[in-house]
Chain A
């Protein structure tokens, strides 16, 4: 974090210097040293991999395909929406690059360049549950041929890049070349899009029709094809060994509604206090179903405000339209429901219960450590951690208990498993079975060999440190000593990835996916180099812990491995559901993950001129603005600002909780 900030500062200085000497560099695409054209290289690559890049004619299309455009899905957004207005938002830092891949590109700004605003072939419908619920984006229609593991896609003829050219199958071919290229310095993409990794073949039938064949016909096959966005071939002609520097400050043409204009890029060369995206008035999807009621503001103005308290003041001053109220302190103390700004109806408060896979906050116990190798000790720890008190005191009862590491996947999550409660008697019983019966003079349990029951807890979330302090103080009652080690977040993660932890306070953030993943975190391949002897069952006495994997528990159970392998190969959701439950039960029995807490909602405070649809938002949304269903009612802004200064007047207040998707216990 610190290094990143340093980098950002130095970039800023450099930019400021160059800007003052030479007022017209970098913003356009014609300032780079030598123009190169990679057309020949790209064509040669296609030719060198004839099995992957296949060209056919429309006549070769199978005739019996069942094309669909998912036209029966409900529409997102509200017809009452009003387009226009300036949406002011806060970003913490000016982006270090405008690239979306390569070094420094994986930061919060990528949301604006890619994740929330770019139109993919198809999107998961955020209001409808079930596996087949995509709605078309760039695609006009698609057809799935499960036996051949192929998805056929026809592009919408209206689909255009923001700089003019239409989106064609050229851009689809190029997407694979681009993500497979080593020039982009993005190993994750190289791996994911690599030949034979997830995709085995891409076929072009004409400019608008293509097919992608994937390796395994898993239940999420459609998502793996449709949830990609093509890469603009015409823009990336100059991709070469200097890609990272050459494309650092070029705005990528987008299929989404918002663009950075050259004038804005020019302005930000010398002024990096804000950056503004403009909505294209003639955006190709303006009238397309599922998009016509969304992306409403005419401008997105992102202001750089480093400190959260400063951003809060800016919000109260009306300079930002909205502020996230997820922290109890903001919701209850800084802007309680009784605050005059709320009671006078100037600021609206909304709580929305969403239904998404939950980040699995909890304590991950490294079973490769001597004390934690003993299951009885792990069980004792489970009962010695007072998460209930954490939820009550720190989160003020708003949060709920996480029960398994994969909560929030609907019926793919385990329906009945419940996390173990805080129970000192049971903790004492399990610790005693592990040989810890006596208490030392400091009240901590000691075994016959004189070993203290003392473990370290690694933490990288500065703001959540009080959570660990509560657990620590409560665990002392059970005779368990927890030493909290709070480190800078990147140093912390490095330590955990090196498996140098006893207990790690961590959470894996998951996108909205149809079913949980298990291999990364629980397969023995990610725990040890050679986990078992030749019989595949006996633990190998000489095994070494494998580092840089997500198996934070160093868990290696042959039966679990077998289930995970079957789960990963399964092509039926029903079978996966059954296997997933067995996996969860084994993990529960192993007791090496202590589930923490879940925030089952998001809260937001908005000024009165910010409007949402009747039901506020969509079921599978992680925050209020992700799906862009909000809009600005500019007619309301002047009167609101006027009333703010005149204390005798007020509007009807709005403090609402939307519980239509609240998960029933």
Chain B
């Protein structure tokens, strides 16, 4: 069944496509997201394909394959780079057609890539496939950037879901019911907004082991207020329109009026804010990691890379350059998309009530 969009939405999408900068940014961003989702196929210590004595292995996903699987004398995860060199240098194996296909960057983000050498940042080395160099703990920077981006994305998705869930619900309720409820929640929001977010994060991070879930929860707890005001005004506006009154006359309940009639008409506002919320989420996660209150070690994260980079500005400029460029690129893309969405969904151009 073909996807049936209403003409207005189709028009908006057409308009979005015609905004070249935003559209291409969107394509690139979507590409990056897809890439981050399947990063194991490009950046991983695990091989893509191993063929050995006629057997095929695809280690990228799933449980570990211990070294014994390939007749190596250990029970922990196979070192595929090592296996690769072994098979290559073994004429018998080559004759059998055994091979190991390694990903483009054959390193894990938390892997110590120079196990027999000092901890020291090393500059980009194309021969060893460290395209962006290594960090202060001998880990591949590209791998940390990509997997860090993945964590930032997961964080953003949960953050946006949380903020929208709370913000939309309360905002709609405030606008729809108005009166004392509206006044009360407004005061609560005013008080709540004055709690210094960073201090709370620092205190909580000091007391518990901060995982992704906690970080999302804290950030949502202090991030939902902004959206309520937009939703409140939108709902106030919409509920006074004739169609809302008509629905009420026909006997629709509050929930139906809010969800089926008012909410879809405020979608433009909601959609417009998503990219900026995402940018904010990535920014705040990075800031928290930078300050050391973010994800537990040794989780790859941009903030941690930036923090390493600033401490080693003169010794290892490639660290800060990579992290900074990656962050700038992504935030610029998100912002371009956001601008385009805002323009495409601008009600001044497409409204039924013109």
Complex interface: chain B residues within 8 A of A424 (CB): 74
Whether A486 pairs with B207 at a CB distance below 8 angstroms is no
Partner of A443, one of B76, B296, B298: B76
Which residues of A are found within 8 Å of B138, using beta-carbon distances? 393
- Asked if B120 is at the interface (CB within 8 A of a chain A CB), the reply is yes
Q: Is the CB of B297 within 8 A of A2?
A: no
The answer to whether the Cβ of B269 comes within 8 Å of any Cβ in the partner chain is no
Chain A residue total in the interface (Cβ 8 A): 40
Query: If A439-B66, A442-B64, A462-B292 touch, does A469 touch B120 (CB 8 Å cutoff)?
Result: no
Interface string of A388-402 (1 = CB under 8 A from B): 010011101000000
Residues in B whose Cβ lies below 8 Å from that of A484: 296-298
A485-B119 in contact (CB<8A):
no
Minimum distance in angstroms from B280 CB to a CB of chain A: 24
The interface bits of chain B over 67-94 (1 if a CB of A lies within 8 angstroms of the residue's CB, else 0) are 0000000111100000000000000000
Query: Contact between B296 and A309 (Cβ–Cβ < 8 Å)?
Result: no
* Stretch touching chain A among B30-38, B109-117, B162-170, B221-229: B109-117
Interface: B118 (CB within 8 A): yes
Let me know if A428 and B76 touch, CB within 8 A. Answer: no
When chains A and B are docked, how far (Å) is the Cα of A477 from the Cα of B66?
Answer: 10
| Complex contact A487–B206 (CB within 8 A) | yes
Q: Given the interface contacts A2-B206, A441-B62, does A477 sit within 8 Å of B74 by beta carbon?
A: yes
Whether A473 touches B110, Cβ cut-off 8 Å, given contacts A393-B118, A443-B77, is: yes
B297 and A479: CB pair below 8 A? Answer: no
Task: State whether the Cβ of B11 lies closer than 8 Å to any Cβ in chain A.
Answer: no
Tell yes or no: A434 within 8 A of B by CB. Answer: no
Chain A, residue nearest B64 (CB): A443
Confirm or deny: A333 has a beta carbon within 8 angstroms of a beta carbon on chain B. Answer: yes
Asked whether A333 lies within 8 Å of B315 as measured between CB atoms, the reply is: yes
Which residues of chain B have C-beta atoms less than 8 A from A309's C-beta?
311
A203 within 8 A of B: no
Q: How does the 8 Å CB contact mask read for A483-515 relative to B, with 1 for contact and 0 for none? A: 111111011000000000000000000000000
A439-B75, A469-B110, A491-B206 given; A333·B120 CB < 8 A: yes
Q: State the CA gap A468–B297 with chains docked (Å).
A: 9
Contact partner of A394 among B76, B111, B116, B119, CB < 8 A?
A: B119
Q: Does A611 interact with chain B (Cβ within 8 Å)?
A: no
- Determine how close the nearest CB of chain A comes to the CB of B184; give it in whole angstroms: 32
Q: Which residues of B contact A333 (CB under 8 A)?
A: 120, 315
Given the interface contacts A393-B112, A473-B111, does A328 sit within 8 Å of B118 by beta carbon? yes
Asked whether A569 is an interface residue with its Cβ less than 8 Å from the other chain, the reply is no
Q: Are A491 and B112 in contact (CB under 8 A)?
A: no
In angstroms, how far is the closest chain A Cβ from the Cβ of B291? Answer: 11
Chain A min CB distance to B165 (Å): 30
Main SS of chain A's interface residues? helix
Tell yes or no: B183 within 8 A of A by CB: no
With the chains together, A332 CA to B315 CA distance in Å? Answer: 11
Chain B: CB-nearest residue to A462: B292
Shortest C-beta distance, A489 to chain B (Å), equals 9
A466-B136 Cα distance, complex, nearest whole Å? 9
- B residues near A440, Cβ cutoff 8 Å: 63
A441 lies within 8 A of B64 (CB): yes
**The residue from B63, B115, B297 contacting A486, defined by CB atoms under 8 A apart:** B297
Contacts of A332 in B (CB 8 A): 118, 120
Q: A396-B118, A479-B76, A486-B296 are in contact. Are A470 and B112 (CB under 8 A)?
A: yes
- A479 surroundings in chain B (CB, below 8 A): 75-76
- Kindly identify which residue among A392, A428, A466 contacts B137, using a CB–CB cutoff of 8 Å: A466
Is A472 in contact with chain B by the CB < 8 A criterion?
A: yes
Contact of B218 with A by CB under 8 A: no
Closest to B205 in A: A488
Whole-angstrom CA separation of A177 from B14 in the bound complex? 87
In the complex, chain A residues whose CB is within 8 Å of the CB of B292: 462
A578 to B141 Cα, complex, angstroms: 53
Of residues B64, B111, B116, which shows the largest number of chain A Cβ atoms within 10 Å of its Cβ?
B64
Q: Are B298 and A472 in contact, CB atoms less than 8 angstroms apart?
A: yes
User: Is A469 a contact partner of B298 (Cβ separation < 8 A)?
Assistant: yes
Q: Is the CB of B118 within 8 A of A485?
A: no
B245 contacts chain A at the CB level, 8 A cutoff: no
A465 close to chain B: CB less than 8 A: yes
CB distance from A494 to the nearest CB of B (A): 9
In the complex, chain A residues whose CB is within 8 Å of the CB of B298: 469, 472, 484
Q: Which of A439, A441, A466, A488 meets B206, CB within 8 Å?
A: A488
- Nearest 5 interchain pairs by C-beta: A441-B63, A488-B206, A477-B76, A491-B206, A443-B64
Binding site for A on B (CB under 8 A): 62-64, 66, 74-77, 110-112, 115-120, 136-138, 202-203, 205-207, 209, 292, 296-298, 311, 315
A465-B297, A486-B297 given; name 20 further pairs at CB < 8 Å.
Answer: A328-B118, A392-B116, A392-B118, A393-B119, A442-B63, A443-B64, A443-B77, A468-B297, A469-B110, A469-B297, A469-B298, A470-B112, A476-B76, A477-B76, A478-B76, A479-B75, A483-B209, A485-B209, A490-B206, A491-B207
